[in-house]
Amino acid sequence: MTPICLVGIGKIAVDQHVPTIAGSDDWNLAATVSRAGTVDGVPSYTDFDQMLVERPDISVISLCLPPVPRYDYAAKAIAAGRHVMLEKPPGATLAEVDALATMAQAAGVTLYTTWHSRMAKGVAPAKAWLADKEVTGAHINWKEDVRRWHPGQEWVFAPGGMGVFDPGSNAISIITEILPMPFHLRTADLKFPANRDTPIAAQLQWTENVSGDFDWRQEGPQSWDITVETTAGTLNLHDGGDRLMIEGKEIAAGDNREYPALYDRMAELVKNGASEVDVSPMIHVADALTLGKRIIVDPFHF
């Protein structure tokens, strides 16, 4: 088993990364780095540089930090000759991810920009079905409760936190994967709470009749749905891509194995000496933040 170090023991590390690594035959959680979080029975460090020096046995680093602090950790890990796996979105800016890709290539290590929603059960069969279809439109309906999924996480509303595009990039990672034609943003309405630096809701209109409604204020049932209209019928992805329906018939229903699939892919990339770097979902987010009309809404407090 390959020794791996998890950095940033917060919500997603505890919810997904730790149990996924524990359940995998490929990986051994050999250390953690976090200012406050630890994992029972695993050597923990608070200083990343110290871990890199003291643990030459660890060849792979998985970064579960928010996007803004992540670059410095990734750059140090690559400079120390380690393979790096990045949570989504892969960085705070496009240029920094590009820089990491260049560094990883020069150092001969793997860099993997993970997009967990692309591993949802319905995504690959949706892509395969759409490959030879004529798409007449697509719509994203992505509405969830920020207090439930990011409890008290102030970074999501700080510059670089991306606001509703933190989960919204999951939906965009799916449509950039499955739609068979290119599309680009035409307009965006972005709703910023009066006391925050990132949007809490957004409506996007792309070319090719592709659109999206994103909202972080939805309590009760959560909506993670994508509809694609084609001349051959309608495709629906529900539950964040885990459930695929075509013309009302269920084609795939998921078992929520997105993170095991990400770690399997990382094992494959390391074994093959390859990298996988895809910033296309981030390009659409950056375009929305560039082009978007800013609308001020009620202040938001956790």
Catalytically annotated residues: 88
Q: How far is the CB of 134 from ligand NAP (least distance, A)?
A: 33
Residue nearer to ligand NAP on the CB measure, 43 or 69: 69
210 binds ligand NAP per the rule CB under 6 A: no
CA-nearest of 20, 90, 124 to 276 is 90
Give 11 or 147: the residue with its C-beta nearer to ligand NAP: 11
282 vs 213: CA distance, rounded Å: 17
β-pair type (83-86, 111-113): parallel
List 3, 10, 125, 180, residue binding ligand NAP (CB under 6 A)? 10
Q: Does 218 bind ligand NAP (CB under 6 A)?
A: no
Shorter beta-carbon distance to ligand NAP: residue 6 or 185: 6
Per CB under 6 A, the list member of 2, 141, 153, 211 interacting with ligand NAP is 153
Closest-approach residue to ligand NAP (CB): 10
Q: Which stretch binds ligand NAP (CB under 6 A): 23-31, 64-72, 129-137, 281-289?
A: 64-72
Per CB under 6 A, does 37 bind ligand NAP? Answer: yes
Nearest approach in angstroms of CB 194 to ligand NAP is: 23
198 binds ligand NAP (CB under 6 A): no
Residues within window 82-121 making contact with ligand NAP, judged by CB under 6 A: 87-88, 116
Q: Does 65 bind ligand NAP (CB under 6 A)?
A: yes
Q: Is 36 in the site for ligand NAP (CB under 6 A)?
A: yes
Instruction: Kindly give the interhelix angle for 280-291 and 94-107, rounded to the nearest 10 degrees.
Output: 150
- The binding site for ligand NAP (CB under 6 A) comprises 8-13, 34-37, 64-67, 69, 87-88, 116, 149-150, 153, 155, 166
